[in-house]
Amino acid sequence: MAADRSEPGIDPVRRAWLRELGIERLWNLPAGAAASPPLVQTEYGDRGEAEGDRVQPQSGTDAPALADARATPETTEPEAILEPGMALADPASSPAPVDPEQAWTTLEDEVRNCVACGLCKGRTQTVFGTGSRKARWMLVGEAPGEQEDRQGAPFVGRSGKLLDSMLAAIGRSRQADVFIANVIKCRPPGNRDPLPEEVARCSPYLMRQIALLNPDMILVLGRFAAQTLLETDARIGSLRGRVHALSVEGKSVPVVVSYHPAYLLRSPAEKIKAWQDLRLALSVGGA
């Protein structure tokens, strides 16, 4: 179960997490009351750090329209990610077993044995995803890095620790309250960006995971995952701060975009924006 999520009266543990995030003082401010951080040049580097965006100076506040976002969700209905015939792995098209537990197991087996693209040759193991299969939130990252490939779980390195802190700051845990997956289930060599063909072959697995979980909200972490899921070239800065809609197996799922934790580690001034994104996510996916 999720811990108490009410904003005032933070318990000491959560306060400690907020302090680590550098946002303790901001917890009780109205959304958007924090001053904008200075212009920051995006750095490029390891997985998730190249957000491909330059922070735009804002006048007065960088706050997204939190109140409006839920009332007027953007109804972009991305077209199918796959072109017909491109996907060797297409679990979404096979008849789903009725039992959800069985469906998860079947999908996990399919991913474990997947040889649909060249990434299977270099992997130690696939990284299916972790968390609760009853979670109301899904978090989606890019692809496993070295640590994830070794341990078989997403976000287990430094960026994973920051992600855990961010979740703890809103009273949620990776084990109980979210399911975390990546667009790509195998580590790309040298942490390079996944290739379009790899995305085409792997993303049906993610779509199936979304359909099985049926989350109230998807929080997309980083430029690559956001552009892939939303099928856009738009910069992450312009995708943040509003609610998108993703159509998965006939159902529309709200999507909130935020920065990748690895990017936040390199650009700590941006944590305030990630905080705003979490607040938006709470307003969409249940406070």
Where along the sequence are the contacts to ligand URA (CB under 6 A)? 47-48, 141-145, 148, 154-155, 159, 182
**Cβ nearer to ligand URA, comparing 18 with 236:** 236
Look-up of token digits 């997947």 = 114
The DSSP-derived string for 232-279 is ----HHHHTTS-EEEEETTEEEEEEEE--HHHHHH-GGGHHHHHHHHH
Contact 212, 133 (CB under 8 A): yes
**Cβ nearer to ligand URA, comparing 69 with 188:** 188
Class of residue 125 by CB neighbours under 10 A (exposed 0-12, middle 13-18, buried 19+) = middle
Question: Least distance (Å) from ligand URA to the CB of residue 268?
Answer: 18
**Cβ nearer to ligand URA, comparing 18 with 135:** 135
Instruction: Give the dihedral of Cα atoms 141, 146, 151, 157; nearest 10 deg.
Output: -60
**Cβ nearer to ligand URA, comparing 10 with 263:** 263
Q: What does the alpha-carbon distance between residue 72 and residue 243 come to, in Å, rounded to a whole number?
A: 8
Three-class SS state of 58: coil
Question: Least distance (Å) from ligand URA to the CB of residue 32?
Answer: 28
Question: Least distance (Å) from ligand URA to the CB of residue 155?
Answer: 5
**Cβ nearer to ligand URA, comparing 90 with 193:** 193
Q: How much is the CA Rg of the chain, to the nearest whole Å?
A: 18
**Cβ nearer to ligand URA, comparing 143 with 280:** 143
The DSSP-derived string for 86-134 is --S--GGGSPPPSSHHHHHHHHHHHHHT--SSTHHHH-SS----EE-TT
**Cβ nearer to ligand URA, comparing 104 with 224:** 224
Burial 163-173 (b: 16+ CB within 10 A, else e): bbbbbbbbbbb
Question: Least distance (Å) from ligand URA to the CB of residue 122?
Answer: 16
What is the end-to-end Cα distance of the chain in Å, rounded?
Answer: 13
Q: What angle do CA 223, 163, 201 make, to 5 degrees?
A: 45
Question: Least distance (Å) from ligand URA to the CB of residue 84?
Answer: 28
Question: Least distance (Å) from ligand URA to the CB of residue 206?
Answer: 12
**Cβ nearer to ligand URA, comparing 70 with 133:** 133
Question: Least distance (Å) from ligand URA to the CB of residue 141?
Answer: 3
Percent helix, strand and coil across the chain, each rounded to 5? 40, 10, 50
Question: Least distance (Å) from ligand URA to the CB of residue 270?
Answer: 16
